[in-house]
Amino acid sequence: MKKAIFTAPFKIGFQETEIPSISDDEVLLKVISIGICGSDIQMYHGRHKYMTYPVVPGHEVGSVIVKVGANVTDFQVGERVSVEPQITCGHCYPCSIGRFNVCESLKVKGVHADGFAAEYAAIEPRFLHHCPGNMDFDLITLVEPLAVGVGSVKRSHYEGANIAIIGAGTIGNLVAQSAQALGAGSVLVTDFVDGRLDFAKACGIQHCANTRDIGLKQAIENTFGERKADVIIDCAATRGSFMSAMEASRPSSEIVITGNYKEPMELEVPRIQRREVSVIGHMMYVREDFADAIRFLSEGKVKTAGFISQRFPFDDFDKAFAFIDEHPNDVMKAVVNIGTY
């Protein structure tokens, strides 16, 4: 079988290997599609803080089970599954209370361990989620990023809340759609790129604003009026986005950090203290977020028409990355087709 490997910055190679054998406790997946994510781009550029080469990328996976180990009872051959890529220890304190996403020794398949840019993969069923039998494999690749959106919203007191999301890219869009699907009161998404906001509108996101000229604070006041934003979710992860979130916060606002910040930043601690602003970190998802994501996608609660903006065959894996570099504003989600079923 063929697998793709990041060997150095901007270098992607292919390798021919045996199809992995499975133990009695594992299943064999045939990988049909994988999505390319912002973190894959960082790895491709050699700017990902927590990875080392060589590594097989790919953590947004649409796959089908083609072989089942003797001890596996809850999954069957022919079943479409979504893969949770987090490798957790299961016994640290966060794991013991179900917060696997912040396991003290968290690793992610496709980042710190080999991922799914391969024709087949052996895996234990605990990483898998059942998907409906008619669910499109490309749609299944969106389960993982949507679970990030669900996880992000659930870090806040979202029910009935006014939620502003900074950034209308893939994650910002999915965070905003998750907020609506989970029962937020009113949702605003902001960006500097009109195309992304037009797409957000087409996805049914209630309020969309370009903050290039007016700034986040004004956009929030225009949309939510005096109550302003109960929750601000930062998916842009720039110095400017965090500062604008602080500036736009009102007493008792919650600021959720979902974007990947790369550098330390100073915090306006007096504002946090005096106005009881909560700054909340967010990392990936827990298992229930995956289940919500599958439900929202299969029930059409999250709009995905046009979401997959480019498709590439596996042989053009490197071209997909080059394309994304050249067209950063035209790519919502690029998917690489690896196999057929």
Q: CB–CB of 223/186 below 8 Å?
A: yes
Please tell me whether residue 37 binds Zn ion under the rule CB under 5 A: yes
Q: Which is nearer to Zn ion, 129 or 207 (CB)?
A: 129
The 8-class DSSP code of residue 175 comes to H
The minimum distance between CB 42 and Zn ion, in angstroms, equals 10
Q: What does the alpha-carbon distance between residue 30 and residue 62 come to, in Å, rounded to a whole number?
A: 9
Q: Which is nearer to Zn ion, 10 or 93 (CB)?
A: 93
Please tell me whether residue 293 binds Zn ion under the rule CB under 5 A: no
Q: Which is nearer to Zn ion, 72 or 283 (CB)?
A: 283
The minimum distance between CB 78 and Zn ion, in angstroms, equals 26
Which tokens is 260 given?
């990947």
Q: Which is nearer to Zn ion, 209 or 336 (CB)?
A: 336
Please tell me whether residue 135 binds Zn ion under the rule CB under 5 A: no
The minimum distance between CB 101 and Zn ion, in angstroms, equals 10
Please tell me whether residue 117 binds Zn ion under the rule CB under 5 A: no
Q: Looking at the DSSP assignment, which residues form a beta bridge with residue 311?
A: 335
* Continuous segment of H or E residues that includes residue 243: helix 239-248
Please tell me whether residue 102 binds Zn ion under the rule CB under 5 A: no
The minimum distance between CB 89 and Zn ion, in angstroms, equals 3
Of 37-45, 237-245, 282-290, 297-305, the segment contacting Zn ion by CB under 5 A is 37-45
Q: Which is nearer to Zn ion, 171 or 187 (CB)?
A: 171
Please tell me whether residue 103 binds Zn ion under the rule CB under 5 A: yes
Q: What does the alpha-carbon distance between residue 132 and residue 143 come to, in Å, rounded to a whole number?
A: 12
Q: Which is nearer to Zn ion, 147 or 188 (CB)?
A: 147
Q: Which of 92, 113, 193, 291 binds Zn ion (CB under 5 A)?
A: 92
Of 1-9, 82-90, 209-217, 264-272, the segment contacting Zn ion by CB under 5 A is 82-90
The minimum distance between CB 284 and Zn ion, in angstroms, equals 9
Q: Which is nearer to Zn ion, 260 or 278 (CB)?
A: 260
Q: What does the alpha-carbon distance between residue 23 and residue 32 come to, in Å, rounded to a whole number?
A: 22
Cα distances from 86 to residues 101, 127, 251, in angstroms, run 7, 8, 35
The minimum distance between CB 103 and Zn ion, in angstroms, equals 3
Please tell me whether residue 87 binds Zn ion under the rule CB under 5 A: no
Total residue count of the chain as it appears in this document: 341
Reduced to 3 states, what is the DSSP secondary structure of residue 223?
Answer: helix
Of 3-11, 34-42, 196-204, 212-220, the segment contacting Zn ion by CB under 5 A is 34-42
Q: Which is nearer to Zn ion, 91 or 227 (CB)?
A: 91
How buried is 119 (Cβ within 10 angstroms: 0-12 exposed, 13-18 middle, 19+ buried)? middle
Pick from 117, 136, 180: which is nearest to 308 by CA?
136
CA 25 to chain centre: 28
Q: CB–CB of 129/24 below 8 Å?
A: no
* Continuous segment of H or E residues that includes residue 270: helix 269-274
Q: CB–CB of 157/125 below 8 Å?
A: no
Q: Which of 95, 111, 205, 232 binds Zn ion (CB under 5 A)?
A: 95
Q: Which residue has the tokens 């594992």?
A: 26
The minimum distance between CB 21 and Zn ion, in angstroms, equals 28
The residue number whose beta carbon is nearest to Zn ion equals 37
Q: Which residues bind Zn ion (CB under 5 A)?
A: 37, 88-89, 92, 95, 103
